[in-house]
């Protein structure tokens, strides 16, 4: 199953848990795994508590690691300003694998599946969900 998510860029955190849960329900798999993958080299997927304070804390940490306004060699090559987005994407990754038991994703109470778009502009992101039994 695939679905698209429209993003704003610049640290757009989007909870996609419900869409992934729906894909698992449609698959009718009792036990297995769900692999979730986002196409794109300036975004990533995480499992986290989707909460405003934590989102702001993560933005602060990401800015310390790879500030958006720094001068990256990538900018000189492609004449864009998303070098920091590429670095953050590499650090968090583009996929997650989550166990399924009794037709239910095995997420903790405060775990949500979150797409983070780091790019400098809005994008349409394609999310692929593969269910294996």
Would the pTM count as exceeding 0.85? yes
Domain that holds residue 125: 2-92+101-132
Picking from 48, 35, 33, 34, the residue whose alpha carbon sits closest to that of residue 115 is 48
Task: Express each pLDDT in 61-110 by its tens digit.
Answer: 999 999 999 989 888 887 788 999 999 999 999 999 999 999 999 999 99
Task: Express each pLDDT in 41-73 by its tens digit.
Answer: 999 999 999 999 999 999 999 999 999 999 898
Q: CATH code at 86?
A: 2.60.120.460
Dihedral (CA of 116, 120, 122, 126) sign = negative
Our count of domains for the chain comes to 1
- Decide: 31 and 100 in contact? Cβ < 8 Å: yes
SS3 percent helix, strand, coil of the chain, rounded to 5, is 30, 35, 35
């Amino acid at each position: 199953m695939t679905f698209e998510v429209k993003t704003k860029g610049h640290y757009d955190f989007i909870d996609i848990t419900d869409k992934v849960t729906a894909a698992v329900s449609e698959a009718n798999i009792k036990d297995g795994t769900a692999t979730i993958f986002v196409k794109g080299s300036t975004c990533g997927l995480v499992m986290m508590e989707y909460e405003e304070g934590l989102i702001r804390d993560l933005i602060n940490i990401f800015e310390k690691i790879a500030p958006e306004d720094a001068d990256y060699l990538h900018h000189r090559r492609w004449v864009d300003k998303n070098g920091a987005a590429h670095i953050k994407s590499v650090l968090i990754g583009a996929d997650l694998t989550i166990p399924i038991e009794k037709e239910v994703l095995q997420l903790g109470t405060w775990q949500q599946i979150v797409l983070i778009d780091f790019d400098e502009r809005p994008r349409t992101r394609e999310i692929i969900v593969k269910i294996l039994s």
